[in-house]
Structure 1
Amino acid sequence: MGWMTRFLSAVVFLAIGVLFAPETFGSKSDGQHPPKLATFLKLAHLLCFSTAFGAALWVTFIGGIIMFKNLPRHQFGNLQSKMFPAYFSMVGVCCAVSVGSFGYLHPWKTASASEKYQLGFILAAFAFNLSNLFVFTPMTIQMMKERHKIEREANIGEEVGWTKNQEVAKVNPKLSAMNKKFGMIHGLSSLANIFSFGCLAMHSWYLARKLDL
């Protein structure tokens, strides 16, 4: 994921530059832009936002639940440890592009209150994703590996569901303590992901009001 981190960093710095100094990139304070440029930026914003929103919806409420209910726990955990860094990186890039394009089209100095709120929602979604990518996900993966080791020693982990883990944890203090640590960090990660999805959902309502079908 090294190349993805570098790419994300480049996109982030570009988005920050567009956000705080849009005039440097040719943005007009009066909001008037060449039609082709405006259309391109709107398309970039729409595609990146919809990608982020759709991915968050699928991973949070559909894909993850289906995998958990059908895969052996260790296999599920190992898959998640590979999928989530890519997921948060992709959503982070999409949010950064959305922030940059929206900030370019609606410079902060002349943006309406509604537009400033929307920029805040996208920025918040971006921040929650970065917190997951660089803080919570690495911690969760590390704790998951440690718990897998403890579970293998107890000859569990290849079953579907949490039943055996909970049974063994009642008589295994080490596993019980690890479950609590993992649950806390995983809970914070899930909470950040839910908040990010909520912010994207708020922006989807704003975009829906702008559509003329």
Structure 2
Amino acid sequence: MGWLMRFLAVVASLAVGVKFSPEIFESSSDDQKSSTGTAIFKLAHLLGFATAWGAALWVTFIGIVIMFKNVQRRQFGNLQSKMLPAYFTMLAVCCAISVASFGYLHPWKSSSTKEKYQLGFLLSAFAFNLTNLFVFTPVTIKRMKQRHRLEKEDEIARSKSKEIAKVDSNLAAARKKFGIYHGLSSLANILAFSSLAMHSWYLANKINL
């Protein structure tokens, strides 16, 4: 199924959901427009949060583990260099949507302390993902490519028995720097996931099933 067909399927599903939403029919003619507007912002918040939460859960605890165990290390690194920027971009967009819609539904001045905390959690998730997207991930990818280049030079040097000590020293330094930035990126990702997890508990207590 092409991207156009997938997009049309999602739009059609949303249209059907809106058409048959009980709130639409229960609203009177006077407050129907207000209720519909609120429902749209609630939907935006829910979809933004759910997409960010699901993607973070899959990538952090399932997808990366499967790839790491079944793909060669350098191939895994190259794949990550393509996937992670897209992943953090999507999370940042989804978190931005969630923050904007939640802020609209709960203005700061009239919000309760609990709602202000929730907005703080969403902002934290947004900030951690932006930091990963623009700071940690680009540097980590740069260090990874440097490490791969030095590893190839090390293999060539060993095959020719030339300048092994010098290459080994540079490789050790590159691995250390990569480890530092990779660790910071992973920490930021876990903190963003934790912030979303805290908000999920808030939403669970708001849902009437």
Q: Which residue of 1 aligns with 2:29?
A: none
Offset of residue 153 of structure 1: 2.0
Q: Which residue of 2 aligns with 1:181?
A: 177
- How many residues align structurally? 169
Q: Which residue of 2 aligns with 1:35?
A: 35
User: Match of 2:148, SS?
Assistant: helix
> TM-score, with normalisation over the residues of structure 1?
0.76
> TM-score, with normalisation over the residues of structure 2?
0.78
| Paired letter, 1:54 | G
Pairing 1:39-118 to 2, within 5 Å after superposition: 39-118=39-118
State the distance in 2 between where 1:126 and 1:60 align. Answer: 16
State the distance in 2 between where 1:178 and 1:66 align. Answer: 26
State the distance in 2 between where 1:188 and 1:129 align. Answer: 12
State the distance in 1 between where 2:67 and 2:173 align. Answer: 25
CA RMSD of the aligned region, Å?
1.7
Alignment deviations for residues 77-96 of structure 1 (CA, whole Å, 9 cap, x no partner): 11100000000000000000
Q: Which residue of 2 aligns with 1:151?
A: 151
Offset of residue 39 of structure 1: 0.5
Alignment deviations for residues 139-181 of structure 1 (CA, whole Å, 9 cap, x no partner): 001001100101122339xxxxxxxxxxx99x92221111110
Higher percent of residues as helix = 2
Query: Paired residue for 2:204, among 188, 194, 208?
Result: 208
**Unpaired segments of 5 or more residues in structure 2?**
1-32, 157-163
State the distance in 1 between where 2:155 and 2:85 align. Answer: 28
| Paired letter, 2:108 | W
State the 4+ residue runs in structure 1 displaced beyond 6 angstroms.
Answer: none
Which structure is higher in RCO with an 8 Å CA cutoff and minimum separation 6? 1
**Unpaired segments of 5 or more residues in structure 1?**
1-32, 157-167
| Paired letter, 2:168 | N
State the distance in 1 between where 2:115 and 2:46 align. Answer: 15
Alignment deviations for residues 62-87 of structure 1 (CA, whole Å, 9 cap, x no partner): 10111011101111111100000000
Q: Which residue of 2 aligns with 1:120?
A: 120
- Rg larger in structure: 2
